[in-house]
Amino acid sequence: MKKSTRFEKIYLGIVFLLMYLPVAVVIIFSFNESKLPVRLTGFSLQWYQKLFADRDMQEALVNSLILGAASCAVSAVIGTMGAVGLSRIHWKTKGALEYISILPLMIPEIILGMVLMAFFYMLNLPFGMLTLLIGHTVFCIPYILMEVKARLVGMDPSLEEAARDLGATSLRAFFDITLPLIMPAVASGSLLAFAMSMDDVVISIFINGPRLSTLPIKVYTQIKTGVTPEINALCTIMLAFTVLLLLVYSLVRKLYRKLR
Amino acid sequence: MSDSFLELKNLKKSFAPGEDVLQGINLTIRQGEFVTLLGASGCGKTTTLRIIAGLEQPDSGSVWLEGQDVTALEPNQRDVNTVFQNYALFPHMNVADNIGYGLKIRKAPKAEIKKKVKEMLELVQLEGYEKRKPSELSGGQKQRVAIARALANNPRVLLLDEPLGALDLQLRRTMQLELKRLQKKLGITFIYITHDQEEAINMSDRIVVMNQGQFEQIGTPDEIYNHPKTSYVAAFVGNANILKGTVAEKNGHHIKVKLGDEVASIDTEEKVNVGENVTVALRGENILLEENGNLHATVKEKNFAAGQLRVLLTLPNGDEVTASRFGMNADIQPGQQICWRFEPKAAVLVDRPKGGIN
Amino acid sequence: MGKKSRIWMILPLYIFTLIFVACPLLYMVALSFATPGEVHGVQWIFTLDNYRKLLEPVYLNTFAQSFQLAFTSTLFITLIGYPFGYYMAKLPAGGKKKAMLLLMLPFWVNSLIRLYGWIIILQKKGLLNFLLKKLGLIEKPLKLMYSYPAIVIGMIYVLLPFMILSVYSSAEKLDWSLVEAARDLGAGKIKAFWTVSFKLTLPGLLSGVILTFIPSMGLFFIADILGGNKVVLVGSLIQDQMTRGNNWPFAAALAVIMMILTTLMILLYRKVTNAKEVEGLG
């Protein structure tokens, strides 16, 4: 009974094919000589050259990288500390806090974006890197919080107790035992958060301000104006970058499994 | 002071209102003693151990170690180390780092740590395992490392929380002997937790039987097994049958007890009066199925387990008892009427009011 | 007991969450009852006008359109995603691993890039029209872009993995011997599926529906890129009111309604499945 039939395998194959078709099209035509994305005329790197010459693009890329790294770092610290704290404290407000901090994942992105925009405006915060950083941290924290929490659930509480029993202070036991053991979860959560930050359009577009642009926003505005081979090239680069991130992620996972 | 090396005074603990885990326990342990806390899960034995280790604070009462009140001290400030139930080996450290962890915290020189680790590994017969990761060890090896790690700190008291619980029977027997050997060699006080009466009897100098946050009986294995004080101890440690009866006759230490309509002879040191209701504990192997027995029963069931034939008997008064004997030959069938008896010395009166011994 | 030392660890999360998640959401609620300023900004005069405005036919129509689109998309996603997740759970262990990787990979790729690929395929002078013409199936290029079907394709494309993952995670836990038992007891293949497999994977299906239905009301950029403003979604409306329309209180009211709908769906889901958390989220 539990055996895949040929039909089932073909079905899976077709859906996967459709899933990857658009991505493949983007990559293939980014190396195409012709400007029109219908016929393959020859191999060319000209669109990449054009892209790299684009000052705006470079700036957007740098912005995205800074933003991704910063929001990822801030949320890694807050999220990890929070997850560890939550696992040890039994306050009545604990459940509510946990719910509110994961809320950014549950509510539609657009609402989060508009809410933050209105709120920052009320606070008189200048729209730009700072508002983007806060906004991205808001939706990055849940990823790290959930990953670390899951790891802590699987962790034997007597490990830290054993360290204290052997003479370590509470703080020392945390740094010697708990932190190294949850580090893989922190790392994979951070990578996930980084990828989400590099991917975000909806929230960023509300809070980026008039001058600052991130890579996804740039792609968004360009796509709206029409198809150009430069965007193909840009998308391909972002794809390559994602694959690289994934490789790092799976490496971290492997390390994590080794530790267990 | 030599008699009370470690002392627990009136420890009370509850995790939820109305649910007392410890109801005021007192215990005095001598230097170098092997004491076992024996009880079913949830009886409070682990909580007692955690309070001694400092991992849990009692609601009231105190813990004294060598005449010093250590109740308020953090676990890292006590000369007490624990072997945890699931070993709690640090998975990201190798065997040597695990064993040397306590010394490293005390900022011992590297050479000294290395020497001590080697010494400890020899002690638990795991020479050459320094570089192994816990995940590469078998259950028994993990157990040895956990013991070595706890002993490396030269504790005054070693606490062991069901350390053999996860091992198979064969290994458990070997480790029992080994632990006993270690304890004798090192002369350290061991406080051992288990729910396995066999383990407790094999290893301990004294056994503390716990039930629902209280001590039922404290005594040597012989006292606990052969002279249980309560029906709980008799049933839990000796798998004894508990019978209710009335004293019918008394002649010095010899009494006759009415069990329903039948009468059995019992020898006891207890002070009893004729007409008094008594509780009798009788272990299964002491029930003799013999034709000349003065007691009667109906065979309800028979089954074979752990090398013993168990015969469930229904007495004329409706009580049920289990007789057990080695081997599986017994020419009896369910439904059959049989006769049985027991030696007067084999039965024990339990649940006596305090201070009633002659 | 060392427990005190944990309190400071939780403080940053507490403070950050209260200031930047709880406060903004409360601010949104407050804003939805405020009066919009003449040209820009907000006047703090209590009013229910923003909610009354929602009842105007134009906006009711927006909600209806949004719902219709969300419904259509979710329907297609279910039809494609449910068998997919179910079949995937039947693969051997190695196949499962590979399929999972293939499924997660696009998940990591910027959804814009993936949508962009569809533009290349669907546009007037695009790949699909080119091929169809070459094959002689059509004379004139079809107008595929900036249409309702294009938006639905985009929605399906972006949200399908969510459905697959949640169906898969519940189908994976399915005890296949139950299906065999049902067949053994005389149920036909289809009957066995409906009475056993379907029933047991229903929680996954429902969480998939929620995970796709809610976002499909808010993913305004899909409607924007592929639909070219043909269909105005609630999301598009919010964005429009926040940026061009400058009517923040009205946008807030829209958002409050959407939040309520979202919450209701999650509550409904919990009621139906008795589950604590939406499957596939963790």
Can you give the pLDDT at residue C1? 40
d(CA A235, CA A224): 14
Write the pLDDT tens digit of every residue in B163-194. Answer: 888 788 888 888 899 899 999 999 999 999 99
Q: Considering CB atoms only, which of B55, B84, B105 is closest to A167?
A: B105
Q: What does the pLDDT read at residue A260?
A: 52
User: What pLDDT digit, counting tens, does each position of C206-244 carry?
Assistant: 888 887 887 787 788 888 888 877 778 888 888 888 888
Is the pLDDT reported for residue C71 higher than 60? yes
Q: In chain C, which residue's Cα lies nearest the Cα of B72?
A: C1
Q: Supply the pLDDT for residue A109.
A: 84
B231 against C278, higher pLDDT:
B231
Tell me the sheet residues that pair with B299.
Answer: B313
User: Which DSSP string do the residues of B150-175 spell out, in sequence order?
Assistant: HHTT--SEEEEESTTTTS-HHHHHHH
Residue C2 pLDDT: 44
Angle, in degrees to the nearest 10, between helices A215-225 and A55-88: 130
pTM for this predicted structure: 0.77
C87: nearest CB among A4, A23, A195: A4
User: What are the CB-based long-range contacts (under 8 Å, 24+) for C179-183?
Assistant: C179/A1, C179/A2, C180/A1, C183/A1
Mean pLDDT of chain B, nearest integer: 88
Instruction: Report pLDDT for B64.
Output: 93
Mean pLDDT of C263-281: 63
Tell me, what's the pLDDT at B329? 65
Pairing of strands B34-38, B189-194: parallel
Reported confidence tier of residue C279, pLDDT bands at 50, 70, 90: very low
CA distance B135 to chain A (A): 7
Q: Say which residue, B79 or C42, is predicted with more confidence.
A: B79
Q: How far is A102 from chain B (nearest CA, A)?
A: 30
Residue among C18, C24, C106 whose CB faces A119 most closely: C24
Chain B residue numbers with beta carbons less than 8 Å from the beta carbon of A165 are: 53-55, 75-76, 80-82, 150
| Helix runs in chain C, H state only | 4-17, 23-31, 49-54, 57-90, 93-108, 111-122, 127-134, 148-172, 176-184, 189-192, 199-218, 220-227, 234-243, 248-273
In this structure, are residues B241 and B282 in contact, taking their beta carbons and an 8 Å threshold?
yes
| Nearest-CA distance A66 → chain B (Å) | 32
- Report the pLDDT value the prediction gives residue B282, as an integer from 0 to 100: 92
Output the 3-class SS for B181-197: HHHHHHCCEEEEEECCH
For residue B92, the chain A residues in CB contact (below 8 A) are 180-181, 259
Please tell me which chains touch C, using 3 or more CB pairs under 8 Å as the contact test. A, B
- Looking at residue B1, what is its pLDDT? 41
Whole-angstrom Cα distance, residue C204 to residue A235?
33
CA distances from C236 to A106, B295, C99, C211, C225 (A): 19, 92, 34, 19, 11
If you average pLDDT over residues B129-140, what whole number do you get? 90
pLDDT on residue A259: 59
Does the CB of A164 have a partner CB in chain B at under 8 Å? yes
CA distance A171 to chain B (A): 12
The nearest alpha carbon in chain C to A104 belongs to C21
C249 contacts C42 by C-beta, under 8 angstroms: yes
Q: Which among B151, B145, B155, B162 has a CA at the least distance from the CA of B49?
A: B162
Contacts of C22 in chain A (CB under 8 A): 100
Question: A149 to chain C nearest CA, in Å?
Answer: 10
Query: Distance from B2 to chain A by nearest Cα, in Å?
Result: 25
Per the DSSP assignment, residues forming a β-bridge with B215 are B210
Give me the total of CB pairs closer than 8 Å, taking one residue from chain A and one from chain C: 242
Which of B81, B86, B105 to probe by mutation at the A interface, max A CB count within 10 Å?
Answer: B105
- Nearest-CA distance C58 → chain A (Å): 21
Residue spans of beta strands (DSSP E) within B220-268: 240-251, 254-259, 262-267
Contacts B74 to C, Cβ<8 Å = 1-2
Give residues 2 to 31 of C whose Cβ lies within 8 Å of B. Answer: 2
DSSP state of B223: H
Amino acid at A213: S
Contact at CB, C2 and B57, closer than 8 angstroms: no
Verify whether the Cβ–Cβ distance B105 to A164 is below 8 Å.
Answer: no
Q: Which residues of B touch A154 (CB under 8 A)?
A: none
Q: How far apart are CA B78 and CA B81, in angstroms?
A: 8
Shortest Cα distance, chain B CAs vs residue A179, angstroms: 11
C281: confidence class by pLDDT, cuts 50, 70, 90 = very low
A259 to chain B, any CB pair closer than 8 A? The answer is yes
> Do the chains contact at B76 and A165, CB–CB below 8 Å?
yes
CB interface of A with B, residues 87-106, below 8 Å:
none
* CA–CA separation, B80 and B6 (whole Å): 11
In our burial notation (b when 16+ CB lie closer than 10 A, e otherwise), range B206-226 reads: bbbbbbebbbbbbbebeebbe
Go through chain C and tell me how many residues it has: 282
Cβ contact, residue pair C90, A104, below 8 Å: no
Which of C15, C88, C109 to mutate: most A Cβ within 10 Å? C109
**Half-sphere exposure for B143 (CA within 13 Å, toward CB):** 20
Chain C partners within 8 Å of B57 (Cβ): 1
Report pLDDT digits (tens) over B90-122: 998 999 999 999 999 999 999 999 999 999 999
User: B85: which chain A residues are within 8 Å (Cβ-Cβ)?
Assistant: 158
Considering only alpha carbons, which residue of chain C is nearest residue A133?
C20
pLDDT at C120 over 70: yes
Q: Which residue has the higher pLDDT, C19 or B302?
A: C19
pLDDT band at B330 (very low <50, low <70, confident <90, very high): low
Which positions in chain A touch B105 (Cβ < 8 Å)? 166-168, 172
3-state secondary structure of B113: helix
- Distance (Å) from the alpha carbon of B54 to chain C's nearest alpha carbon: 8
Question: For all residues of chain C together, what is the average pLDDT?
Answer: 83
**What pLDDT score was predicted for residue C277?**
47
B149 contacts A159? CB cut-off 8 A: no
Interface of C with B in 190-229 (CB under 8 A): none
The per-residue pLDDT for range B294-321, each reduced to its tens digit, is 888 999 988 887 778 888 999 888 888 9
**B 76-95 residues with CB below 8 A of A?**
76, 80-82, 84-86, 88, 90-92
Q: Spell out, as residue ranges, where chain A has pLDDT lower than 50.
A: 1
Q: Is the dihedral of CA B17, B22, B25, B31 positive or negative?
A: negative
| Cα(B9)–Cα(C202) distance, integer angstroms | 57
Segments of B66-224 assigned E as strands? 68-69, 80-83, 157-161, 189-194, 206-211, 214-219
Give the highest mean pLDDT range of A226-235, B116-125, C88-97, C105-114.
Answer: B116-125
Cross-chain CB nearest to A29 (options C12, C120, C238): C120
Q: So what's the pLDDT on residue C282?
A: 32
pLDDT in tens, C145-203: 888 888 999 999 988 988 998 899 888 887 777 777 877 787 777 887 887 888 888 88
DSSP letter, residue C142:
P
